[in-house]
Amino acid sequence: MASITEVFLSSILPIVVIISLGFGLSQRQEIRTDSLNTLTLYILTPSLIFHSIALTELEATALLKITVGVVAFLSVVVLVSFAFGRGTGKEGAHLSAFMLIAVFGNTGGLGIPLADFAFGSLGRQTAVLFAAIHGAVVFTVGLFIASRSGGGSARGSLRRVFRYPLVYAVIAAVGIRFLGVAPAADSVAMRTIGLLGDSAIPVMLIILGVQLSRTEYRSALPMTTTPIAFRFGVSPLAGLLVASLLGFQNSTVAQVFVLLTAMPVAIGPIIFVVEFAQEARVDGVSLPELVSASIFVTTLLSIPLVTAIVVLLKSGLII
């Protein structure tokens, strides 16, 4: 069984260092994250997704189970967060913002690098597929939830999904695997795509560091207790339940699946809340401040908590 120190040094510390570089650089120099986001969204992440799925060691059954599992897991957390929110008196924009915080974790920018460092190539392949499905749900269900907060329409949510290359990267990779025409791993094409994909991981972490450095969170800190409980309590328990019911044959796949359900709050919700409910306030705190605080606090807490989760998962005591 790996010790907490070993897991931290090998899996968590590299991530912390790269995030800190982005955080520190942003404090000293203006960084255009919109350009970095565009680069990551349209080139680096699709390359990572295509390369990982096209050459994955995962069998077709595992691919199907991960897809079904992500949808089932998110469905459970949506229902629980909605019931809890309504039961505690949250309504309208506040309820929508709370659900976005509770349901969606940072499976891409943090989850993929973490799975890569902690579980190697198979871990990254699993995380890439999980994050791709998760991202599709964020830009459909997440947009619908957010649109309800400000009276906006969710009519165009599906079309928004198909604006982004990651959807086509998944379709293309699955297609060439199904047809058996995937280029060899050592071909020029796949080595080029692989090089671009490998660049996605450090760039995503640097972007996260920059975004955290700009987070306005102080006034909303007292309101982050419940989001913390959902992200590191309710969410991984739901993930463990779904993974156990699906019965993944490969233990690494099952462990990465559970790990990705315990990620801190995703960055995406802040974009949605700013668009649909920027002026809404709860107890004197704006909803963008509440979401930003939740992102900041859960990301910091994820360092010790996720380290412990990785240790437990690697021990085989959980799944």
pLDDT at residue 221 tops 70: yes
Structural domain contains residue 253: yes
The overall average pLDDT reported for the chain is 86
pLDDT at residue 236 tops 90: yes
pLDDT for position 43: 92
Q: What is the pLDDT of residues 5-54, one digit of tens each?
A: 888 888 888 888 998 999 999 999 888 777 887 888 889 988 988 998 88
Structural domain contains residue 181: no
Neighbour-count burial of 222, counting CB atoms closer than 10 A to its CB (0-12 exposed, 13-18 middle, 19+ buried) = exposed
pLDDT for position 150: 52
Structural domain for 155, as ranges: 4-31+59-162+219-315
Structural domain contains residue 202: no
Number of domains in the chain: 1
Rounded mean pLDDT, 89-116: 90
Rounded mean pLDDT, 65-79: 96
Cα Dmax for the chain: 58
Structural domain contains residue 301: yes
Structural domain contains residue 209: no
Band of the pLDDT at 73, cuts 50, 70, 90?
A: very high
CA separation for the pair 117, 91 (Å, rounded) = 40
Contact predicate 314/115, CB 8 Å:
no
CA separation for the pair 119, 49 (Å, rounded) = 17
Contact predicate 66/134, CB 8 Å:
no
Rounded mean pLDDT, 286-300: 85
Rounded mean pLDDT, 278-307: 84
pLDDT for position 271: 65
Pair of tokens at residue 285: 């705190």
pLDDT for position 216: 67
Pair of tokens at residue 156: 């165009």
> What pTM was estimated for this model as a whole?
0.83
Helix (H) / strand (E) element for 9: namely none
Q: What percent of the chain has pLDDT over 70?
A: 91
For the CA atoms of the chain, what is the radius of gyration?
19
Place of tokens 């799925």: 53
Higher pLDDT, 220 or 157: 220
Rounded mean pLDDT, 82-96: 91
Structural domain contains residue 184: no
The percent helix, strand, coil of the chain (3-state, each to 5) is 80, 0, 20
pLDDT for position 274: 66
Structural domain contains residue 21: yes
Structural domain contains residue 267: yes
